[in-house]
Copies of this chain bind each other. A is one copy, B any other.
Amino acid sequence: MKLSAKVEYGVRAMAILALYYKEGPLPLREIAEQEKISLKFLEQIVPALRRSELIKSVRGAQGGYILSRPPEEIKVGDIVRSVEGPITPVDCLAEDRDDSCCHHKDGCLTRQVWEKLRDKINDVLDDVTLNELISLKPTQTL
C-alpha cells in the first residue's frame, strides 16, 4: 500500500510550483535543487502532469513550468492520478475488466471492501488542494 517515489516527487514539485505561482515559469532545475531530486528523474515525471493539463510548459531560455490553474483549484488527487494512473487497490478493480473480478460467478465476497477503499482514498486526496498544502504550512518538525 505504497505510493511510488514518482508520485511523492510529483506532489512535492507541484507544491513548489504553487509557491511560485504568481512569479511566472519556474525551471525544473530550481525544483530539483530545492527538493534534492535528480533533474533527469524529475524530467521523467512532469510530462504526465503537463498532459493532464495541471501545468503548462514554457520552452527555451527563461522557460520552465507553471500551474495551469491557481493552487486552490488543484487537488492532490489530481496529481496522484495523473502520475500514477487511477487508484486501484487490487487489479480486479481496473477499468478493462468490468465483469470477472475473480473466478467467482456468484459474486466476489471481497470486492466491496476494495471498492470502498478505492473511493475513500480518492476522497481523502481530493479533499486537499495545493493551496491548503502550502498554507497549512508546517506540521513543524516538532
Knowing A107-B137, A109-B15, A113-B133, the reply to whether A1 touches B90 (Cβ < 8 A) is no
- Asked if residues A125 and B133 are in contact (CB atoms below 8 Å), the reply is no
Contact residues in B for A124 (Cβ distance below 8 Å)? 113, 116-117, 120
Contact residues in B for A108 (Cβ distance below 8 Å)? 138-139
Knowing A1-B87, A87-B1, A90-B2, the reply to whether A137 touches B109 (Cβ < 8 A) is yes
Choose, from A53-61, A62-70, A98-106, the stretch at the interface: A98-106
**What is the count of identical protomers in the complex?**
2
What distance in Å separates the Cβ of A87 from its nearest Cβ neighbour in chain B?
5
| CB closest residue in chain B, given A91 | B2
- Asked if residues B113 and A3 are in contact (CB atoms below 8 Å), the reply is no
Q: Does A43 contact B (CB under 8 A)?
A: no
Scoring A residues 77 to 121 as 1 if CB is less than 8 Å from chain B, else 0, what string do you get? 000100010011111000000011011111111111111110011
Q: A107 touches which one: B91, B103, B115, B139 (CB < 8 A)?
A: B139
Q: A99 touches which one: B3, B87, B140, B141 (CB < 8 A)?
A: B141
Per the bound structure, the CA–CA distance linking A135 and B102 in Å amounts to 18
- Asked if residues B12 and A110 are in contact (CB atoms below 8 Å), the reply is yes
The 8 lowest CB-CB distance pairs between A and B, nearest first, are A107-B138, A120-B124, A15-B109, A107-B140, A3-B89, A1-B87, A117-B124, A113-B128
